[in-house]
Each structure stands twice: as structure tokens, then as C-alpha cells.
A and B are shown apart, each in its own frame.
Chain A
Amino acid sequence: AQSVTQLGSHVSVSEGALVLLRCNYSSSVPPYLFWYVQYPNQGLQLLLKYTSAATLVKGINGFEAEFKKSETSFHLTKPSAHMSDAAEYFCAVSDPGRGSQGNLIFGKGTKLSVKP
């Protein structure tokens, strides 16, 4: 079965510093991988997705993620944090074995805090 592990439930960075949020997955087949962001009092919205077209994926708001098959990782990065990046971030992997397209397995989330 597919699974997703996010290392670190809370990450705190200073404004302008590098953001690195870690995600490792297990999958028996080539996966589709996603990063979603949830701002306070809102639903989730897609940041970026990996679909095997390119290993380095660029998303919205300056975020990017690199798919590394050898490490089964899909870490999310941003070179310079902004106060508005404070949110909870979820890594997810598609699970076609669960019958319906769109069925995702989510990680437990990483809450990002940005200090001024």
C-alpha cells in the first residue's frame, strides 16, 4: 500500500531563509505526487504536482519540489521564506489501487512558521 511520511510536524524559519519541507513516499508503481497548502481557515489548494514529465517541478508562490526516485523523496523548497508562507503543507501520493481517480494518501502535514 502507498504511504507518505512528512518529517517534522512543525518547521520554523526566519523571513528570507530557505524553506525545506521533507516528504518521503512508498509506492510500488511510479507515483503521482502532490504538495497541497492550507492557509488558516481555508481548504487545501494545490501547490504543485509531479507527473513524471520532469523531476524538478515548479509550483505557485515560488515553491518547487524535486522527485528523487533513488531516495523515494519529494521535498518541497523555497529559496526565501515570506511571512505569507506561514501555513500547513501536505504531501500526497495518488493511490489508483483505491478504485477512484483522485484518491490520495496524505501525509500528516507540516506546519510552517515564519519569524520576522
Chain B
Amino acid sequence: DVKVTQSSRYLVKRTGEKVFLECVQDMDHENMFWYRQDPGLGLRLIYFSYDVKMKEKGDIPEGYSVSREKKERFSLILESASTNQTSMYLCASHPLIRDTNEKLFFGSGTQLSVL
């Protein structure tokens, strides 16, 4: 069965800390995504990557960076966590195929609280 694994289900950090959120997929997918989910706002794309070492900004990249050193792993980095980054973070992957009707595979999410 296909799997997208996010390393932590819950995370509590302090303001100013550097935070790493890890995501691993076992499907050999080229594309990986980081979304942020907030009540009433739905899912908003932070960054995505379509290949190793390649990254593209999504709709809300400010305050975040990403790393993709290996195909299966896509990390989201909060350089200096702030309270407004308290949120649910969802990782997803997608195969690189011509037809864009293939579905996204999501991880279970990481609920990050920044105090």
C-alpha cells in the first residue's frame, strides 16, 4: 500500500526555534508538496518540489524553506518559528505523469504549536 509518512503527529516548539518537519514517501513519486491547513482557510500550498534539489514557491512561502536531497524525502523548515505558524501541516506526493488527473497522496499531518 502506498504511504506518505510524516515524522511527527504533534510538535510543540518555542518562538524563535528552528523547526524541521519531515516527510517520506515510498512510491517513487517525483512531485512532493507541503500544505498548511487552518480552520476556515482550507489548504494553502507552501512549497512544492518536482525533482531532487528542485523547489518552487507556493502561495504562502514566507517564513518557510524546504529541502529535497533525496527523491523520497521532502523537509519543511521553519527558520525561526513564530506563533502565527501554529497550524496543521500536510505533506503530499504525486507521480510525474502527463495527465494531471492522478490523485495526491497525503500524509496524516503534523499539528505544530508554537508557544
Cα A96 to Cα B42 with chains together (Å): 20
Question: Contact flags (1/0) for B82-101 with A, using CB distance below 8 Å?
Answer: 00000000101111111111
Cβ of B108 under 8 Å from chain A: yes
Q: Indicate which residue in A34, A42, A100 contacts B103 across the interface (CB closer than 8 Å).
A: A34
B31 touches A43 (CB 8 A): no
Cβ of A90 under 8 Å from chain B: yes
Cβ of A116 under 8 Å from chain B: no
Question: Contact flags (1/0) for A88-116 with B, using CB distance below 8 Å?
Answer: 00100010100111111011110000000
Cα A101 to Cα B97 with chains together (Å): 7
Interface residues contributed by chain A, number (CB under 8 Å): 26
* Interface pick from A14-22, A45-53, A71-79: A45-53
Q: Which residues of B contact A51 (CB under 8 A)?
A: 99, 101
A14 to chain B, nearest CB (A): 25
* Interface pick from B11-19, B43-51, B64-72, B73-81: B43-51
Contact flag A99-B107 (CB < 8 Å), given A44-B90, A108-B40: no
Q: Indicate which residue in B41, B56, B97, B106 contacts A43 across the interface (CB closer than 8 Å).
A: B106
Which of the listed residues B4, B94, B95 has the most CB atoms from chain A within 10 Å of its own CB?
B94
B107 touches A100 (CB 8 A): no
Q: Number of A-B pairs whose CB atoms are under 8 Å? A: 75
Interface residues contributed by chain B, number (CB under 8 Å): 31
B45 touches A43 (CB 8 A): no
Q: Which residues of A contact B95 (CB under 8 A)?
A: 101-102
Find residues 1-51 in chain A having any chain B CB closer than 8 Å to their own CB: 6, 9, 32, 34, 36, 41-46, 49, 51
B101 touches A99 (CB 8 A): no
Cβ of B34 under 8 Å from chain A: no
Q: Indicate which residue in A6, A36, A101, A106 contacts B102 across the interface (CB closer than 8 Å).
A: A101
15 A-B contacts (beta carbon < 8 Å): A42-B109, A43-B4, A43-B90, A43-B109, A44-B43, A96-B100, A99-B56, A100-B48, A101-B98, A102-B93, A103-B45, A103-B100, A106-B43, A106-B44, A108-B40
